[in-house]
Amino acid sequence: MTLYGARMERGRRRRFRRRLAGFATVLLLGLSLGTIYATGFATTGGETGTTGNASPINDAPGDKLDTSGLNGLITNPTPDLTWNWSGRNGSVNSAVMYEANLTGEPGGNNYFVGVYLTNSPVGFSDLQLQVRIAAEGGDNACTISDLTDTATSNYRVFVMDTNDAQVTFSGMGGATTGLPGSERYCIGVVDYTGAGKDPAGTFIRRISSSTDFPPGIYPTFVAALNRMP
């Protein structure tokens, strides 16, 4: 064999050994990964067992459906708020939005009322209402006069900047322990001095000063009465 041929043979042997070593490394890595996956995962499939027809339903419609114990105890004496406009600035007429009649509930029970925005108002650059709560004055019906002299600790500012905005009344005079039963509570808005231009209370402004009315879509609300846990 010539010197050139001997060198070629040695080169082939070295390349073969390198390929063999690389193959062994890949094989060991594959075995290692296979072991990791095998010990780290387990799968379960499914198959059909017994089958049969459903049992007949003999119950009368409405059977075993409970009616809420608080059903009908919160009402809305004023279904729609009245909005007034002077250019871009707005105001709302005084109104009792909700009445929570807990006069038939035990005085030792405590409750709360949440008022929730149910849509996305359109056409406003600023929109918030000062909403108040007051105990009814004793004439068995909520009136605007019940809300007129409400203490500031019973105010809530309803800022309608998101479509899930809300205010919650969970006590009187700043308390958060609940509204005691055996009382009637009035919740609403009052046309106070400021006429809708109080940044810390009712502040209503629409985007355009156009004479087109309404300015867009007015807010709508729902109230829920719940017992404190």
pLDDT of the residue at 209: 77
Q: 81 with 162, same domain? A: yes
Evaluate whether residue 51 is within a structural domain: no
CA gyration radius, the chain: 36
User: Same domain for 21 and 102?
Assistant: no
* Alpha carbons 115 and 168: distance in angstroms, whole number: 6
- Residue 149: count of CB within 10 angstroms of its CB: 9
pLDDT at 183: 95
| pLDDT at residue 49, as a whole number | 72
Within 10 angstroms of residue 84's Cβ, the number of other Cβ atoms is: 13
Q: Are residues 18 and 99 in the same domain?
A: no
Residue 61 in any domain: the answer is no
Same domain, 192 and 119: yes
The pLDDT value given to residue 39? 45
Residue 53 belongs to a domain: no
Q: What is the pLDDT of residue 131?
A: 96
Tens-level pLDDT at each residue, the chain (229 residues): 554 445 555 655 665 566 555 555 545 545 555 544 444 455 555 676 777 776 655 555 555 555 678 889 999 999 999 999 888 899 999 999 999 999 999 999 999 999 999 999 999 999 999 999 999 977 789 999 999 989 999 999 999 988 789 999 999 999 999 999 999 999 999 976 677 889 889 999 999 877 676 778 999 999 999 999 8
On whether residue 42 sits in a domain, the answer given is: no
162 and 80 housed in the same domain: yes
**Whether residue 198 is found in the same domain as residue 93:** yes
The DSSP code sequence of 10-44 is HHHHHHHHHHHHHHHHHHHHHHHHHHHHHHH----
Q: Is residue 79 part of a domain?
A: yes
Q: Give the chain's domain count.
A: 2
Q: Are residues 137 and 218 in the same domain?
A: yes
Two structure tokens written together for 127: 């929109």
Domain that holds residue 12: 1-34
Answer yes or no: do 223 and 143 share one domain: yes
Same domain, 26 and 79: no
Q: Per the domain annotation, does 65 fall within a domain? A: no
Residue 207 lies in a domain: yes
What pTM value is reported for the model?
0.70
**Which of 183, 201, 177, 181 has the alpha carbon at shortest distance from 191?**
201
